[in-house]
Structure 1
Amino acid sequence: MALSPPLRQHPSGALARRSLLVGTAAWCMGAIAGCTSGAKPPSPVGSSSFTGSRTTAVAASSSPGPELPTAVRWRPGPGEIQPAAKLAAVQLVEALGTWPNGQSGVRAAAGRAAALGIPSALAAQLAGQAGSLLPPADAAVIRVIDAQYGGILSDTASVLVVCDQPTLTGRTVRPGGTTVDVRLSRTSSGWGVTALHPAAPGPARPLDEAAREVFAQSRIELPPASAADIRSGAVHDSVLHAMLQLAGSYRLSVSVVRSGHPLDVFGTDRPSDHPLGRAFDVWRIDGHPVVDPATSRTLITEFMRAAAGAGSYNVGGPVQLTGGATANQFFSDDTHHDHVHIGFTA
């Protein structure tokens, strides 16, 4: 069992209906069509990264002027333990965080959530929790980089939806993005979202030398919320030095560092190392997603051992390793079948 973060449980609302999991394609097409570009954009980092991850580019607008990139809906690929849970989480994040010109705000977001089949009261509650998923802008597009577990039990789960979110205000397109800790419960009707906890990295501070080196290292891929975590100055140097050491041998795609992660290890009351700035997760190694069954177990094993060699006391992933410096240095469970967790002591 991970010594790193499970989650502090937050109050949950009523469950979304089964229709959260299906039947949203037509709405998504219509909502995004008015704010996308006809030019082919670069693929989002995660959603089309390996065979079997089914993605669909949304129809583009032919209107002149600056436009947002084309939205690409995320779909689970092979190797997922509970793909329906991830899909339910991602569909809601995509709906809340994507809107055409003139449909910004919490009330409009609640309408988009309700269009997924979520009861109106719960839809309004979730829209009110959207936080950094609803930046002030005329239009926005969510492009999911990765969806990984923050924790999964038999009837509850946390899915961390890691996103790019370019926005359009007036005639200016700005980069952006966030990570949302999406809580779900499962009933006889399937998985339904009960609460949202978006990342709140905090204000930027002057970068120290290790942080500058991380940003200068092209072999370290950071999503928006993780980059903001590092800019906030709240990430320990042990994490930054480990990233740099691993980047000497691997190209690592980071999913989560500090914000947007459960406060406690999921299903326990043990504080997670992530919110303390003492851990980071990697969802892709040398371009190969950890969750993909086609990814070499040897690559993952060597990377996990290299993480331990970089000073991590607590390395988790899809492979249970032996021979650590301590009895619990390596661990594996369902939560970590889709990423490698790398944690550090104070």
Structure 2
Amino acid sequence: MVIRSAACPAPPGGVGRRSLLLGAAAWCTAAAAGCSPGPGASAASPASRTTPPAAGTRAPAGVAASPSAPAPAPSGRLPAAAPWRPGPGEIEPAAKLAAVRLVEALGTWPSGRGGPGSAAARAAALGIAAPLAARLAAQAGPLTPAADQAVLRVIDAQYGGLLPDAASVLVPYTQSTRSGSAVHEGGTTVDVRLARTRAGWAVTALHPGRPGPPAAALGASARAVLARPRIELPPAAAADVRSGAVHESVLRAMLRLADTYRMSVSVVRSGHPTNVFGTGRPSDHPPGRAFDVWRVDGRPVVDPATPRSLITAFMRAAAAAGSYNVGGPVRLSGGIGPNQFFSDATHHDHVHVGFAG
């Protein structure tokens, strides 16, 4: 048995619309796209996200703000859990929900009743057969740090790839852990792999991101990105920037875009598939030459209530900032070459910004 998610409410237009999107023949043809292709041009959909902090909230100096970092708790106490839920208009919401529920279960446990040793039991409680539960627990890595208690909060769930029978769901999260009276804030991004079965979407593997150590000497652009409150970075993306492994073209584009927009980044390097999902082509993300944005000016890309003019303007601004490969929920005309702009089901929930070097 493998983990499955109950179906969520159908989007406007019903299941027929979702099936049409998944079955459409227009595949992403960008030869070097940093993200993964999905079947068909996508329509944007709403999603219920973890509530962001109040406007003006900033992280400590040198640390990027997380769009859903838990509020400070009294000494020795952790913030309350806040389960993530997809909105009714998501493409394949059951896939995202199955991925997120396993991540939340593995990374959250009450005092005296959890920890790494019981990770397999927490997975099995979701209906996963014991052998697979043990395998997924062994793959959890940073999801299950040694601690007396833990609360994991998902920031967002976006596709790293969406095909008719397989999916990659990228789950950036924050995690508050307590050991004795000491509370630690951490988190990373997990690439959750799923397969479609007769009973629904089922988790098959976990690939947690493991950012490198901080660089001994960080460049000026990286320091500026980390200090810029209009660039919201989840823990893994912030660690990627601190590691010095993010290309200068990416950092400069982030800074240029932040002059006009407040953007919530979902993934840079860590936690993204090595290859464009479903292909043998290397992704631009692992070499540090791409980043994804799930929210612009506080408006989720996936939400149909978000003005399309805002998203299309952001996509064109990304191209003007030097990106050779901009993907999102709208296929734009123009651009340099046939593949500067693209759209598919995978990118209905975020904007991909990739660089050649």
1:336 to 347, 354, 357: 347
- Does residue 146 of the first structure (1) align with residue 127 of the second (2)? no
Equivalent residue number for residue 207 of structure 2: 197
Instruction: Supply the distance in 2 between the matched residues of 1:219 and 1:313 (Cα, whole angstroms).
Output: 23
Contact 1:258 1:274 in 2 (8 A): yes
Instruction: Supply the distance in 1 between the matched residues of 2:241 and 2:268 (Cα, whole angstroms).
Output: 8
Equivalent residue number for residue 50 of structure 2: 47
1:4 to 33, 38, 43: 33
Instruction: Supply the distance in 2 between the matched residues of 1:260 and 1:132 (Cα, whole angstroms).
Output: 12
How much does 1:78 deviate?
Answer: 3.6
Equivalent residue number for residue 248 of structure 1: 259
How much does 1:107 deviate?
Answer: 3.1
How much does 1:325 deviate?
Answer: 1.5
Equivalent residue number for residue 302 of structure 1: 313
Q: How does 1:18-167 map to 2 (within 5 A)?
A: 46-48=49-51, 66-167=76-177
* Larger relative contact order, structure 1 or 2 (CA cutoff 8 Å, min sep 6): 2
* Structure 2 unaligned residues grouped into runs of 5+: 1-27, 37-47, 53-73
How much does 1:102 deviate?
Answer: 2.9
Contact 1:95 1:113 in 2 (8 A): yes
Instruction: Supply the distance in 2 between the matched residues of 1:133 and 1:71 (Cα, whole angstroms).
Output: 15
* Structure 1 unaligned residues grouped into runs of 5+: 8-44, 50-63
SS at match of 1:73: coil
Q: Which runs of at least 4 in structure 1 moved beyond 4 Å after TM superposition? A: none
SS at match of 1:128: helix
Instruction: Supply the distance in 1 between the matched residues of 2:35 and 2:184 (Cα, whole angstroms).
Output: 34
* Deviation per residue, 1:221-267 (Å, 9 max, x gap): 00000000111111001111000000000000000000100000011
* Deviation per residue, 1:242-298 (Å, 9 max, x gap): 000000000000000001000000110000000010000000000000000111110
Bigger mean CA offset, 164-173 vs 178-187: 164-173
SS at match of 1:121: helix
Instruction: Supply the distance in 1 between the matched residues of 2:250 and 2:270 (Cα, whole angstroms).
Output: 14
Query: What amino acid maps onto 2:50 in structure 1?
Result: S
How much does 1:104 deviate?
Answer: 4.5
How much does 1:79 deviate?
Answer: 2.8
Query: What amino acid maps onto 1:47 in structure 2?
Result: T
* Deviation per residue, 1:194-226 (Å, 9 max, x gap): 000000111111321001100111100000000
- Does residue 287 of the first structure (1) align with residue 298 of the second (2)? yes
How much does 1:106 deviate?
Answer: 3.4
Instruction: Supply the distance in 1 between the matched residues of 2:195 and 2:113 (Cα, whole angstroms).
Output: 29
Contact 1:107 1:127 in 2 (8 A): no
* Deviation per residue, 1:46-73 (Å, 9 max, x gap): 4246xxxxxxxxxxxxxx9621001100
Contact 1:89 1:193 in 2 (8 A): yes
Contact 1:146 1:162 in 2 (8 A): yes
How much does 1:326 deviate?
Answer: 1.6
Equivalent residue number for residue 221 of structure 1: 232
Equivalent residue number for residue 52 of structure 1: none
C-alpha RMSD of the superposition: 1.5
Query: What amino acid maps onto 1:291 in structure 2?
Result: V
* Deviation per residue, 1:306-326 (Å, 9 max, x gap): 000000000000000011022
How much does 1:166 deviate?
Answer: 1.2
How much does 1:121 deviate?
Answer: 0.7
Bigger mean CA offset, 336-345 vs 103-112: 103-112
Instruction: Supply the distance in 2 between the matched residues of 1:5 and 1:236 (Cα, whole angstroms).
Output: 14
- Does residue 236 of the first structure (1) align with residue 247 of the second (2)? yes
Instruction: Supply the distance in 2 between the matched residues of 1:79 and 1:301 (Cα, whole angstroms).
Output: 20
How much does 1:138 deviate?
Answer: 1.6
Query: What amino acid maps onto 1:180 in structure 2?
Result: V
Query: What amino acid maps onto 1:268 in structure 2?
Result: T
Contact 1:6 1:268 in 2 (8 A): no
Identity of aligned residues (%): 69
SS at match of 2:89: coil
Contact 1:78 1:292 in 2 (8 A): no
Instruction: Supply the distance in 1 between the matched residues of 2:95 and 2:168 (Cα, whole angstroms).
Output: 9
SS at match of 2:276: coil
SS at match of 1:291: coil
Q: How does 1:261-276 map to 2 (within 5 A)?
A: 261-276=272-287
* Deviation per residue, 1:67-122 (Å, 9 max, x gap): 10011000001431000000000000000000112344433011000000110110
